[in-house]
Amino acid sequence: MKIADTIAPPPQQELPPQAPKPSKSARHRGDRIFLGLSRGSGIALLVIMAAIAAFLTWRTANALAVNEGNFFTTFDWNANADPPVFGIAVLAFGTVVSSVIAMALAVPIAVGIALFISHYAPRRLATPLGYVIDLLAAVPSIVYGLWGALFLVPHLSGLFYWMDDYLGWTGVFDYSGGAARSLFTVGIVLAIMILPIVTNVSREVFLQVPKMHEEAALALGATRWEVIRMSVLPFGRSGVISASMLGLGRALGETMAVATVLSPSFVIKLSLLDPGGGTFAQNIAAGFNEAGDVGRDALIASGLVLFVITLVVNGGARMIIARRKEYSGANA
């Protein structure tokens, strides 16, 4: 007898049953359903936007038909008068100026905070700091407005007097005293409001930078700042632009915080520290309840202008990103 005959063969293990693979037709059916849902969502969005634009245009036409002033150059807003006279010159000036101030203050600070969280701070500090930034983004705008009116406005007079002493010769920072309810104060409040939005988006973009790029720069002897300048910032530039546009969209359309802080008047002043001016959203919120039929149509007309400004700003940002290939991060 051979030894091989005495050794029993190992028992064969039964393989678990495999789930049947979906057929090709089922996969194609799922792709078609997903394609239909995606395409339908895009078409629905375009239809909604077109419906909003059509409604605003229709009500704007009714308001302009009875307006006795120039809609773009008139400084007065007497839409409930007989005859009605109203214009958006002051509102456009206040909206643009306050938003520019907010962007100039918020974007550099937000990018710096995002870089600190993503590349400088230790994990024990970066994680709770990120949570705090997320919580700040969820604070309602009326809370920022109340904080600005009750705390920020009384404490800005010293800063305004200092700016008047050293920069008052420009005329832009000339301060005549009184309550600090000006466009500059509004810009500070808006900057604080959009800071968490810009920071969160920029931080997420900076965290997506390929590690190989950073390690290659470090291997060549680059310092931490040189790595950020050569690898991180070029890669995340498009994300920073997108984050800035999100923040600008909120700054342009902010209502309650501006209405709480600003003392509006339909006068355009060179100085940003003196009360005056107004914004589209603030004017709509302040005058909608007391407006008549023509007054509401006039407010809707100003809303159409804000709608167009927002579309132009976001469209311009998309064009900048699309036309400048280096913003896509391909050359990082």
Assign residue 265 the CATH number of its domain: 1.10.3720.10
Q: Provide the domain limits for residue 263.
A: 93-328
| 8 Å CB contact between 150 and 266 | no
Residue 127 inside a domain? The answer is yes
Residue 34 inside a domain? The answer is no
Q: How far apart are CA 235 and CA 239, in angstroms?
A: 8
| Angle, alpha carbons 22-27-29 (nearest 5°) | 125
pLDDT, mean over the chain: 84
Q: How far apart are CA 31 and CA 175, in angstroms?
A: 64
Q: How far apart are CA 258 and CA 281, in angstroms?
A: 8
- In this prediction, residues 240-264 reach a mean pLDDT of 86
Residue 17 inside a domain? The answer is no
Residue 76 inside a domain? The answer is no
DSSP letter (8 states) at residue 328: G
Number of domains in the chain: 1
Residue 69 inside a domain? The answer is no
pTM above 0.95, yes or no: no
**pLDDT 10s digits, 99-155:** 999 999 999 999 999 999 988 888 888 888 888 888 888 888 889 989 998 999 888
**pLDDT 10s digits, 143-152:** 998 999 899 9
Return the H-helix or E-strand segment holding 86: strand 85-86
| DSSP class per residue in 191-241 | HHHHHHHHHHHHHHHHHTS-HHHHHHHHHTT--HHHHIIIIIHHHHHHHHH
Residue 213 inside a domain? The answer is yes
Residue 27 inside a domain? The answer is no
